[in-house]
Every structure is written in structure tokens, then in C-alpha cells.
């Protein structure tokens, strides 16, 4: 199962690379803004934590399992492993689909000087951050496939990084760029799950 989890992780990384190549061919730009973010900024920390969590779950946990780290007894069951495989596969496909749905607006990280179009179609009709929802599903699935302590810790790190990136970086950026169009959209569509985490306009800070 550890080898299967590693293969799933490799497929996830590979498809992200494919998405970058598609972006390059369509727009002449790789779409990666991670290196442009100031070090120790919220955006830097958010993506750094998410990347660390990805590596802990997708690489560290399988290697640790092969080296003899035991799984958590409560999750050491074929049904849990099977569910993990299903979640990982569906999450990988959904991540790629959501990345494609962003079109020319797809980015890794945020460059505050840019003004990309607001995408509200496709999977973005149901949730505001389907790429992150799908990625979290992938790593939940991988953690179920290799449910040791390193995988669980890595999943927690991953979710922390995603929350930081979305709440402290991307949402303020989108409100600043798109104003009322974004706040109206966010008031109707959930953050990570349909109907959950909708923006309450009456709670926004006044300018």
C-alpha cells in the first residue's frame, strides 16, 4: 500500500506539472507566483506549510511505512485503505479539472500586482476553492492508505497551510481586486464545501 500511495502522490505532482505546461503553451507564462512572494509573508508561510504537508503525507509516510513505522491501529483495515484509494484517485482528477477550469487565471501563489479574471463557473459554482478542496481530498486519501503518525501529522500541516493561504492571502486579494463582484459571489458559495463558509457581508471590515 505504501508503494501505491507514493505512486498516487507522483501522479498528483505530475499532473500539476502538466497544468503548468498547458499554461505556458496557452499564455506564455508558467503561472507559478510562489517564488515572487516575500519571504516570511502569510502567502509564503501558507504555501510552504502546504508543500511540507504534501511531502510528509505523500513521500515521508510511505517511506516510513516501508522502514517499519506501524499504522495506527484504528485505521489499519482494508476498508480504510480502499476508501483511501478511491479518495486519492477522485481528488487527483478533481484537482486537475479545477485547475483547468481556471483557464488563464490559474496561478500557484498570488502576485498582488496582477489582476486576473474572477472565475465562478464549472466547479467554482459549488465551492470557491475547489482546487484546494480536491487537493485536501487527495492527501486525506493518501493518509488513509498509509495511516501512520507521520501521515496524520502531515495532513494536519497540509490543512493548516491551505487555511492560511485561502483566508489570509487569496480571499483578501480577491476582495481587493474584484470588490462587490467577489463579495456577492462569496456570500452565495461556500469556501471549501457547498454552503459552508459563505462570506457574511455584514462582518466585513468597513473601508
Could you say which DSSP state residue 190 is in?
A: B
Phi-psi region of 154 (alpha: psi -120 to 50; beta: other; left: phi over 0): alpha
What percent of the chain clears pLDDT 90, i.e. is strictly above it?
A: 86
Q: What is the pLDDT of residue 174?
A: 95
Average pLDDT over residues 119-141: 97
Cell of residue 69, nine digits: 513505522
Report whether pLDDT(204) > 90. Answer: no
Selection from 152, 156, 168 nearest residue 45 by Cα: 168
Task: For each of the domains in the chain, give its residue range(s) and CATH number, in order of start.
Answer: 2-203 (1.20.120.1630)
Task: Tell me if residue 28 falls in helix, strand or coil.
Answer: coil
Average pLDDT over residues 31-49: 87
Amino acid at each position: 500500500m505504501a508503494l501505491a500511495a507514493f505512486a498516487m502522490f507522483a501522479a498528483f505532482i505530475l499532473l500539476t506539472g502538466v497544468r503548468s505546461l498547458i499554461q505556458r503553451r496557452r499564455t506564455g507564462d508558467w503561472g507559478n507566483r510562489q517564488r515572487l512572494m516575500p519571504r516570511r509573508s502569510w502567502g509564503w508561510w501558507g504555501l510552504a506549510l502546504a508543500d511540507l504537508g504534501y511531502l510528509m503525507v505523500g513521500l515521508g509516510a510511505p517511506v516510513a511505512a516501508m522502514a517499519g513505522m506501524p499504522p495506527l491501529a484504528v485505521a489499519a483495515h482494508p476498508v480504510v485503505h480502499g476508501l483511501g484509494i478511491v479518495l486519492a484517485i477522485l481528488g487527483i482528477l478533481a484537482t486537475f479539472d479545477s485547475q483547468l477550469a481556471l483557464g488563464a487565471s490559474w496561478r500557484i501563489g498570488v502576485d498582488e500586482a496582477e489582476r486576473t479574471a474572477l472565475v465562478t463557473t464549472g466547479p467554482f459554482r459549488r465551492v470557491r476553492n475547489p482546487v484546494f478542496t480536491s487537493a485536501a481530498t487527495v492527501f486525506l486519501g493518501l493518509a488513509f492508505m498509509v495511516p501512520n503518525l507521520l501521515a496524520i501529522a502531515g495532513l494536519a500541516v497540509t490543512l493548516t497551510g491551505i487555511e492560511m493561504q485561502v483566508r489570509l492571502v487569496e480571499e483578501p486579494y480577491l476582495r481587493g481586486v474584484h470588490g462587490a463582484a467577489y463579495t456577492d459571489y462569496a456570500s452565495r458559495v461556500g469556501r471549501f464545501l457547498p454552503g459552508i463558509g459563505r462570506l457574511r457581508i455584514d462582518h466585513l471590515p468597513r473601508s
